[in-house]
Amino acid sequence: MKDLFDELKSTLGHNKLRTCLTGFAVAWGVFMLIALLGAGNGLLNALLSSSMDVMSNSMAVYPGSMSIPYNGLKEGTRIKFSSKDVDLLADKSFAGVIDEITPQVSVSDTLSFGRESVSVRVVGASPVLSDIEHIKIIKGRFVNPPDEDGARKVIVIGNWTASMLLGGDENTGKILGKDLKMRGLVFKVVGLFKDSEGEYDNTCYIPYSFMRVLKNGDNSLDQIRFTFHGLKTQKDNEAFEGRIKKAINEAHMASPDDNATSYIWNRLTSDMQTAQAISYMRIALWIIGLFTLMSGIVGVSNIMLISVKERTHEFGIRKALGARPWSILKLIITESVVITAFFGYVGMLSGLIANQIMDSTIGSKAVDLGFMKMYMFLNPTVGIDVAVEATVMLIIAGTVAGLMPAVKASRVKPIEALRDE
C-alpha cells in the first residue's frame, strides 16, 4: 500500500498543473453546490419566518358582500358578522371538526402613559387567541377567562409598544402592572408579549367582552378565528370550507351559490401550498447544484483519459515486466479517488465557510420598513450531513469517472504499448 501511495505521489507531483486544475474543477463543483443550497435555504427561511406565528390547524373567516342579488337584497350588500355567526360555527353540526373558536374585532386608538402616547391597534378577543396565534408572553399573562367573564379593563401589549410608552426604555418589563389610558378609561397592563420576528408590533389585546363596551354594544365582528382537527387533505379542507360558506349564506339570506359573502383564510391549505412550492424550489436548487458538480466529475474523467493516453508506454513496460491488470486498474482508480476526495473536502469546507460568512453578514441584517423589519436571508446554511453526503457522492462519482480510463489502461497490450510514441 505504501508503494502505491509513493507512486501516486510521484505521478501527481510530475503533473502539478494538471492535478491542480482538475482539483479546482472538483472543489468548485462542491463549493457551488453547498453555497447554492445555503443561499436557497436562507431565502426560504426568510420567506417562512413571517408565517410561523399562527397554528397550522387554524382558520379565519371574514365577512364579504353579496355578488348575486337574492331574496330582495341587491348585489354589493355588505355581510356583517355578529355573535350569531360565532354560535353558528359553534353549533353541533361543526362540533366534529371545530375545536376552539373566538370572535375578533379591532379598533385603532391612542394609548398613553404619563407624557408618552402611541397609536395602537386594539384587538378584542377571547383567551384562546393566545394559543391560535402563538402569542409569546414574556411577562405576566394573556387575557384569561375571569377577564372575559367580568369584562375587566385589562390590556396585554407588545415589546415595541411598551418601549414607546416608556420613552424608548429597553427594560419593557417595567410596564407590567402600570395603568394606561385610552378613551378616558384606565387599563391595567397584565401581560407583555414578544413582537413577531422582525416586526414593530403595535397590537394590543383586551377582553372581547369589554371591547363591546368600547363599541357601545355594537355586536359586529371583523373576523371569526377557530382551530380544527381531522382535515388532512386539500380536498377535505375545500369541502369543509364549502360547508361554512353555505351555512353563512343561509344565515344571511344570500344565494347558496354566492362565494363572495365570506372569505376564508386556511393556514393548513396555505402551508400545504407553500410546502409544495418550497419542495419544487429545493429540487431546482439540487438539480442546478448537481449539474455544477458534474462539471468537476467530467473534468476528472477527461484528465484520467489524458493521463492513460500519456502513460500508455509506461503501462506497456509494466505489463512486459509482469504487472497484473489489477495493479494498473488500482493505480488509476486510486489516483481518481484521491483527487476527488482531497479537493472535494476542500470544496466542502470552503462552501461551509461561505455559508457562515453569509449568515454573519446578510443573514443577520434586515430591511427596516418603518413598521416592520424584513429579512432577505435567514440562517443561510446547510447541515453538515448534507455537505458530507455531497462530498461522498462526489468521491463515488470520481471513482466511477476513473473506472473507464482504468479499464482501458489495464487492457493495453504490451507490444502495442511499447510501440506507442
Q: Where are the domains of the chain?
A: 2-52+271-419, 58-267
Question: 374 by DSSP, 3-state: which?
Answer: strand
pTM beyond cutoff 0.85: no
The CA distances from residue 91 to 87, 265, 344, in Å, are 6, 20, 63
The b-or-e profile of 234-273 (16+ CB within 10 A means b, else e) is: eeebeebbeebbebbbebbebbeebbbbbebebbbbeebe
Neighbours of 13 (CB within 10 A): 9
Check: CB of residue 120 under 8 Å from CB of residue 110: yes
Mean pLDDT by 10 residues, the chain (421 residues): 58 67 78 82 71 70 92 90 90 86 92 92 91 88 94 93 85 90 94 74 91 85 91 88 92 91 87 78 79 71 69 69 72 75 84 83 61 63 75 73 68 61 52
Q: How far apart are the C-alpha atoms of 392 and 202, rounded to whole Å?
A: 50
Side chain identity, residue 49: S
What per-residue confidence (pLDDT) applies to 371?
Answer: 45
C-alpha cell at 263: 372569505
CB count in 10 Å sphere of residue 195: 19
Tell me the residue type at 13: G
With cell 427594560, the residue in question is 171
Mark 44-54 as b/e (b = at least 16 C-beta within 10 Å): bbbeebeeeeb
Residue 405 grid coordinates: 480510463
